[in-house]
Structure 1
């Protein structure tokens, strides 16, 4: 909702200021300019990006306007899940958790944490790492390196979406100029017409420049930055998992292992150790 209000503020500020200067709003409605710039933008994405990235843009936009999935409650559930898993591993061993690790979606250890179980990348990182720990003992420094490389790969994969939008933001003003030049070509074809008619054609052409710049700086660029922030929250959750798993693999008790993950959280999301301890012990 907050991001929707931001886009609404941009839209109302630009058009409201134009209207306050006695600008005719109907002059900005130029369907041909929308078709030229919008179609070129979609074609730019289709040519420059694989379908997975094209699809990811739609998915991220949907997530942003439905509210971030990475709320304080989500991170609280993540810490609780890790504590629950580490306690189970300490009491009955990883071998006794084999069914839970292989099928986390149907496990009683995971089912009380719906916000976490809905994130497949996080669940796969937890279950795959626990499965490796069950098969053989992994030195802590090797596990840390392995998880860092995996998280870096995930981060690069996810960043393809905002990078595509930033590239589009750079291209949109050019498409606006293209639309304006085409409008000037039409104007030159009517140069022997009345001054009013010529003025209408010039205004239509300039609308293309306005639209390209407006969509670039008022839509594509801030949307890319918003997606980057959402990705950072997911990567932070992956870092929480990595730090906690490495600490537990090093022999730390469950509470201290989870605390190692807690330290990866942003300050506004990070509970104090005492608050976390009280929350986990009160389960």
Structure 2
């Protein structure tokens, strides 16, 4: 909702201010279809030229997050802590019993309680791979920590592909606007014998290209790239929480301490209260 409000504010303040100052929209509306076709056509072509198919698909998929926000909500963090509590507690009580859950998470009754997490390939693999490493009795837990750090870094790097691709497009849009404006000036120079009022209108139409390039870059594409970067970094906190809990488990802390370590690493605006989490954990103990 806030993204839609932002778009409305951009349009109202830019075009409203222009009209309030005595500007007329006619010349902009007349030139806009042609200038927009040149600028956005070149930008989309350059975007496809500089990225492979997976990045293009990833970017198109991520665009919806601009309006929906991050994938993981407060209740998902609570569910994740409950899931990890059950697995850690079971692993400490009966290491063999937990193997059936980490070896076949799609059939696991524990994972099955949390379908949204179970459907996330990265989260499930991270949990199962780390708990499998714990069962190998590593002499030094820091070995597993190092592997997890590299995995976190690689995952965040992949998640930021769409943000980087859109930011590159935003950086190029002002220059493409100049290209469109120069073409408009060339067209104007070819009609230099026309009266001043005709030439003025043609020059104004050419400058619409420069305006659109800057307007799209700093009013839309750049902010969308920044929003996707923030969302990717926020979603990475979900996987970072898994790391913190399971690393605490590797250091032989109790299940309750492991979960509290995880709760403290939840983003502040998503963090479940201690009492709320305690009630949820009691539910897992009862079941």
Name the TM tier (shorter chain): over 0.9
Q: Distance in 1 between matches of 2:269 and 2:232?
A: 17
2:266 maps to 265
Q: Mark the CA change 1:4 to 1:104 in structure 2 (over 3 Å): closer, same or farther.
A: farther
Q: Distance in 1 between matches of 2:143 and 2:189?
A: 69
Q: Cα distance, 1:19 vs. partner? A: 2.3
Q: Distance in 2 between matches of 1:72 and 1:272?
A: 10
Q: Structure 1 stretches (4+) deviating beyond 6 angstroms? A: none
* 2:67 corresponds to which of 65, 69, 76: 65
CA offsets, 1:232-261, max 9 Å, x none? Answer: 112111110001001112211211111112
CA offsets, 1:194-239, max 9 Å, x none? Answer: 2232122111111100100011001111111111111111211111
Q: Is the 8 A contact 1:102 1:127 kept in 2?
A: yes
2:106 maps to 105
2:80 maps to 78
Residue pairs, 1:35-74, within 5 angstroms:
35-74=37-76
Q: TM-score, normalised by structure 1?
A: 0.93
Provide structure 2 residue ranges, at least 5 long, that are not aligned to the other structure.
Answer: none
Q: Cα distance, 1:138 vs. partner? A: 5.6
1:181 maps to 182
Q: Cα distance, 1:136 vs. partner? A: 4.4
1:115 maps onto 2:135 in alignment: no
Q: Is the 8 A contact 1:255 1:277 kept in 2?
A: no
Q: Mark the CA change 1:163 to 1:184 in structure 2 (over 3 Å): closer, same or farther.
A: same
CA offsets, 1:6-37, max 9 Å, x none? Answer: 12221222122222223222322321111110
Provide structure 1 residue ranges, at least 5 long, that are not aligned to the other structure.
Answer: none
Q: Distance in 1 between matches of 2:251 and 2:82?
A: 20
Q: Mark the CA change 1:114 to 1:18 in structure 2 (over 3 Å): closer, same or farther.
A: farther
Q: Distance in 2 between matches of 1:57 and 1:274?
A: 39
Residue pairs, 1:187-202, within 5 angstroms:
187-202=188-203
Residue pairs, 1:1-283, within 5 angstroms:
1-29=1-29, 30-93=32-95, 95-137=96-138, 139-283=140-284
Q: Mark the CA change 1:144 to 1:273 in structure 2 (over 3 Å): closer, same or farther.
A: farther
Structure of greater relative contact order (alpha carbons < 8 Å, 6+ residues apart)? 2
Q: Mark the CA change 1:23 to 1:117 in structure 2 (over 3 Å): closer, same or farther.
A: farther
Paired positions, count: 282
Q: Distance in 2 between matches of 1:138 and 1:18?
A: 69
- RMSD (Å) for aligned C-alpha atoms: 1.8
